[in-house]
Structure 1
Amino acid sequence: MAHIIVVGNEKGGAGKSTVSMHVATALARMGHKTSALDLDLRQRTFGRYADNRAKFMQKSGLDLPSPRFHDLPEVANDQLRPGENVYDRRLSAAVATLEPDSDFIVIDCPGSHTRLSQVAHSLADTLITPLNDSFIDFDLLAHIDSDGRKILGPSVYSEMVWNARQLRAQAGLRAIDWVVVRNRMGAQQMVNKQKMGDAIEALSKRIGFRIAPGFNERVIFRELFPRGLTLLDLKDIGVKGLNISNIAARQELRDLMKSLNLPGVTVSF
C-alpha cells in the first residue's frame, strides 16, 4: 500500500502548500512514484502550484521529475450509499485509484476545519504540520499562559489529530507519525525563539509529536511558485552560481526530508 503523507493544520499562511510541493517533488526526484491531492477545493494553492509546473515544463521543453497531481473525482448523489457523505466517497475513491501505482500519496489540506481535512487526517501514515514560529500559530496546538511557559491544554487542531488517531487504532491501522515542522524561525528574536522551542518541546512529549526543522523566510519561495518550481529544480533550469541563501534553503529541505524518516527513502540530493 502507498504511504500517505498528509500536510495539514487549521491555519492559513503556515507554508503547507510549499512544504507539500517540495516533499512531493523531492520524493519524485529520488525515484519514488508519488501522487498528489489538494483538498482545498476553494483556494487550491497546491493544485495551482502543480498547474504552474506543467505549464512551465511545456513552455520550456523541460521534463522535470514531478509528482502526479490528481483532482478529486466527482460523485453523483445517486452513487452514494444511504447516509454516506459525498466528500468521504470522493476522497476514498481518489486514494483507492492512486494506491496501486503509488509509493507515496501527498495530500495537502485546507487551512480550516473541513470534512475532507478531518477524513484525510485519519488516513495519514505521516502527518506534517507546518507551524510559523510564533505563539499565534502555537495556539493552534495548545493554549498557553501569558508568560508563554505553562501549557493549559490542547487546542482544537490537536483534538482533531487525537480523534484521527483513535479512528486508526479502532481500525487496526498503524499509528500516525505526527511531525510538527517549525517554519520561519529566522525571523524570530532569540528570546521568543527559545520560548517557542521550550513550549513545543514540552507539548511534543505531552501529546505525542516529533519536531522537525522547516524553511526560513526567503524570497526564493515566492519566486518559485509562479513557475511551479522547487529548490531542487534550480540547477536544471540553468541558474548559474546559486547564491548562499538558495544553497541554505536546499539544505533546509534536505534536513526536513531526513527528519521525516519516510519508509524506503534515502535522501540523495
Structure 2
Amino acid sequence: MAGSGPHFLVFANEKGGTGKSTTAGHAAVALAAQGRKVAALDLDTRQRTLGRYLDNRAASIQRLQVVLPMPVYETFDPGRGETLDAVIARLSADAEMLVIDTPGRDDAYAREAMARADTLVTPINDSFVDLDLIGEVDPETYRVRRPSFYAELVWNSRTQRAKSHGASVDWVVLRNRMQYVEAHNMRRVGAALGELSRRVGFRVIPGLGERVIYRELFPKGLTLLDLHQIGGASIAHVAARQELREMIAGFALPDAEPSLAPLRAAAGG
C-alpha cells in the first residue's frame, strides 16, 4: 500500500453499548502486533474511550518498562481549531492502517469518517434491539421489512466514496456477545441478518464475547495479545485471544496473513 495512503478501518454505530470502542482498540493493537504501521483516531471527544484506553496502554508501557505493540493515536477535538482533514492527513503521513472510532450517535464528523472508509465495521449486540439499527423486522415472521435509516446512511456514504474515489467499501457487521444469547433467538437474528445482508450488501462476522476480561484490561490498556504481561492468565483468556485473532482475520484487510503468524509471535503463543 506504499504511496496510496493508509487503509481506513472505520468503526461506526449510532447506538451505544455495542462494544464498538473496545473492538476498535483491540483491533488497532492487534494490527500493530502484526508489524503494521498503525494510527488510531478517536472522534468521540466526550467519551474518549479509545483515546483513554490507549493512554492507559502508554502508561503501562512506561510503568512496566516493556515493549508492546502501540499505534500512534489522537483524540479529535474540534475546539482546538484544527480540521478533521488536517488531523487525518497528519496521522496518515506514515501509516499503513488508520483505525477510526466514531461516537455512538449521529454526528457530522462520524459521517465524514464513514465516507472515507475502506472497511466499515458496524458492531452490534446479537439482539433484535441492535438489529433494528440496520433493518426493521416484522414482529410475527421475523422477516426484514425494510432497511433502516442507518443502512441508507451507509449506502449513501458508500455511493459517495465510489463517486469521489472510484473505490468500493467493504461493510462488515460484527456480531458481538453471541455466546450469551439463547440459541433460538440467535438463529432468528442470524436469519434476519442474512436476509438483510443480501439486500443492503454487507458481510457478517463473529466479534468479541461478553467477557469481564475486556473490562478488566481497560485500566492497563492491555489486550489478549499481551498474555505474557497478564498475571494468572486462564483458559478464558486464551479463548478470548482466539476470538480476537478470528475477528481480525474476518476483516480480510489487504496484505493480512490468513494464518496470523505475526500475531501469534507477538502474543507469545
Shared topology, TM-score over 0.5? yes
Query: What is aligned with 1:194?
Result: 187
Determine if the alignment matches structure 1 residue 44 to structure 2 residue 48: yes
Query: What is aligned with 1:82?
Result: none
- Whole-angstrom CA distance in 2 between matches of 1:124 and 1:74: 20
User: How far off is 1:73 after superposition?
Assistant: 6.5
Query: What is aligned with 1:243?
Result: 234
- Whole-angstrom CA distance in 1 between matches of 2:111 and 2:9: 14
- Whole-angstrom CA distance in 2 between matches of 1:74 and 1:14: 25
- Whole-angstrom CA distance in 1 between matches of 2:183 and 2:78: 49
2:27 aligned residue (19, 23, 38): 23
Task: Report the TM-score when normalising by structure 2.
Answer: 0.91
User: How far off is 1:219 after superposition?
Assistant: 1.0
Contact kept in structure 2, 1:75 and 1:90, CA below 8 Å: no
- Whole-angstrom CA distance in 2 between matches of 1:168 and 1:238: 42
Between the two proteins, the alignment pairs up a number of residues equal to 256
Task: Report the TM-score when normalising by structure 1.
Answer: 0.91
User: How far off is 1:173 after superposition?
Assistant: 3.0
User: How far off is 1:71 after superposition?
Assistant: 3.1
- Whole-angstrom CA distance in 1 between matches of 2:72 and 2:90: 13
Question: What's the CA shift string for 1:222-245, capped at 9, x where partnerless?
Answer: 10001111110122x1535x3221
Determine if the alignment matches structure 1 residue 205 to structure 2 residue 209: no
User: How far off is 1:147 after superposition?
Assistant: 2.8
Determine if the alignment matches structure 1 residue 218 to structure 2 residue 222: no
Query: What is aligned with 1:84?
Result: none
User: Which amino acid in structure 2 is aligned with residue 163 of structure 1?
Assistant: N
Query: What is aligned with 1:125?
Result: 118
C-alpha RMSD of matched pairs (Å): 1.5
- Which structure 2 residue ranges, 5 or more long, are not aligned? 265-269
User: How far off is 1:74 after superposition?
Assistant: 5.4
Could you say what secondary structure the match of 1:234 adopts?
helix
Determine if the alignment matches structure 1 residue 66 to structure 2 residue 58: no
Moved over 6 A (4+): none
